[in-house]
């Protein structure tokens, strides 16, 4: 196990911890999280450790009220600080920033927020109005507080990853945004802090999401409608899983041609409710290049 990370709860403690651990030339890599850490986060920390080399890895643990809508799970979102710190220590995180809401938003919620642009109202944004403004605002603040060279985000929240990358580029924040592959359970379910809300039978049903994405991948050479049809057919096997959307997009979440003659990279994304738990998943696929057998 690595030495215990320095725990900073205030901005001042954070600045002291970062100044202590870092040569000015060595990189600082940030992994923003909302805590309730699991093996998926561990893989982000490992990637961050690799990227940081002799530099520092900082993780933030902060359940950001700004990105939760009315009726969402802000109050019941799991808070597991002691276990989170243990995982950070195991994975070689140097500094853990775990501020209170008051420390993060002194004087109340900010009057200036980051507008995610049109993509912020699509897919997840259509079901969670204001969510991405809340995410981008807290990430911009974390970038300002930590001043990382690199930030690592999971591909599991793919739209978030695309929007954060766009924000960093378009607002010239100078942070390289790196995506890390989704970690899955043996039955394919993407790891998520929200999986712990699932009852055992819901947990079994939830695996249909990744099965549907794989089915789409198999049909993707025949075009977008075939891939979508294959995924929907699998999703209908579980009537207790209510699909909010199933979308095929380009890797940067633009529109995909339905029947590309030559294969093109794409992304399939799904969101569904299993009981009161909302789950999302996505995977890359290659669309087009084949014609349906006659």
Stretch that binds ligand PAF, among 31-39, 70-78, 251-259, 283-291 (CB under 6 A): 31-39
| SS3 category, 68 | coil
Count of residues interacting with ligand PAF (CB under 6 A): 10
- Please report which residue ranges of the chain form alpha helices under DSSP H: 11-21, 39-52, 81-90, 101-104, 124-127, 131-146, 158-170, 200-206, 208-219, 224-235
Examine residue 32 and tell whether it contacts ligand PAF (CB under 6 A).
yes
- 36 is a contact residue toward ligand PAF (CB under 6 A): no
Per CB under 6 A, the list member of 18, 28, 29, 34 interacting with ligand PAF is 34
What phi and psi values does residue 2 have, to the nearest 5 degrees?
Answer: -75, 165
145 touches 14 (CB < 8 A)? yes
Decide if residue 138 touches ligand PAF (CB under 6 A). Answer: yes
Closer by beta carbon to ligand PAF, 191 or else 234? 191
Distances from the Cα of 41 to the Cαs of 31, 152, 154, 190, 221, in angstroms? Answer: 9, 10, 8, 12, 32
Residue 33 makes contact with ligand PAF by CB under 6 A: yes
Of 15, 41, 131, 259, which is the active-site residue?
41
* Region for 219 from its dihedrals, namely left if φ exceeds 0, alpha if ψ lies in -120 to 50, beta otherwise: alpha
CA–CA distance, 10 with 4 (Å, rounded to integer) = 18
- Interface pick for ligand PAF out of 28, 30, 104, 135 (rule CB under 6 A): 135
Buried b / exposed e over 103-127, threshold 16 CB at 10 Å, is bbbeeeebeeebebeebbbbbbbee
**Is position 41 annotated as part of the catalytic site?**
yes
Of 32 and 179, the one with the shorter C-beta distance to ligand PAF is: 32
Of the two residues 171 and 290, which places its CB atom closer to ligand PAF in the complex?
171
Q: Does 281 bind ligand PAF (CB under 6 A)?
A: no
Residue 14 to residue 9: CA distance in whole angstroms? 7
- Of 67, 195, 226, 277, the one binding ligand PAF by CB under 6 A: 67
Chain-centre distance for alpha carbon 38: 13
Smallest distance from the beta carbon of 84 to ligand PAF, in angstroms? 12
Please report whether residue 280 would count as binding ligand PAF according to CB under 6 A: no
CA distances from 188 to 131, 183, 286 (A): 26, 9, 19
- Closest to ligand PAF by CB, 64 vs 210, is 64
Could you say whether residue 64 binds ligand PAF (CB under 6 A)? yes
DSSP structural state of residue 253 = S
Based on the shown chain and the rule CB under 6 A, indicate whether residue 157 belongs to the binding site for ligand PAF. yes
Q: How far is the CB of 110 from ligand PAF (least distance, A)?
A: 14
Catalytically active residues are 41
Contact residues: ligand PAF, CB under 6 A: 32-34, 64, 67, 135, 138-139, 157, 160
């Amino acid at each position: 196990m690595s030495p215990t990370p320095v725990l900073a709860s205030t901005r001042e403690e954070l600045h002291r911890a970062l100044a202590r651990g870092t040569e000015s030339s060595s990189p600082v890599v940030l992994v923003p999280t909302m805590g309730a850490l699991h093996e998926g986060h561990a893989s982000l920390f490992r990637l961050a450790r690799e990227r940081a080399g002799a530099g520092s890895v900082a993780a933030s643990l902060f359940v950001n009220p700004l990105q939760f809508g009315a009726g969402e799970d802000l109050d019941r979102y799991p808070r597991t600080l002691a276990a989170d710190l243990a995982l950070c220590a195991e994975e070689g995180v140097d500094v853990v920033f775990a501020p209170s809401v008051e420390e993060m938003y002194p004087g109340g919620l900010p009057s200036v927020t980051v507008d995610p642009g049109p993509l912020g109202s699509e897919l997840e944004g259509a079901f969670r109005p204001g969510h991405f403004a809340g995410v981008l605002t807290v990430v911009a603040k974390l970038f300002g507080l930590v001043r990382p060279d690199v930030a690592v985000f999971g591909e599991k929240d793919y739209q978030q990853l695309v929007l954060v990358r766009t924000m960093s580029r378009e607002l010239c924040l100078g942070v390289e945004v790196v995506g890390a592959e989704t970690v899955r359970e043996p039955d394919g379910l993407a790891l998520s802090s929200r999986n712990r809300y699932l009852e055992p039978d819901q947990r079994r049903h939830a695996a249909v999401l990744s099965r549907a994405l794989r089915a789409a991948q198999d049909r993707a050479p025949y075009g977008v409608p075939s891939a979508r049809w294959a995924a929907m057919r699998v999703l209908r096997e579980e009537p207790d899983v209510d699909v909010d959307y199933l979308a095929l997009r380009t890797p940067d979440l633009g529109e995909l041609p339905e029947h590309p003659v030559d294969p093109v990279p794409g992304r399939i994304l799904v969101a569904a409710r299993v009981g009161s738990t909302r789950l999302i998943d996505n995977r890359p696929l290659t669309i087009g290049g084949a014609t349906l057998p006659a």
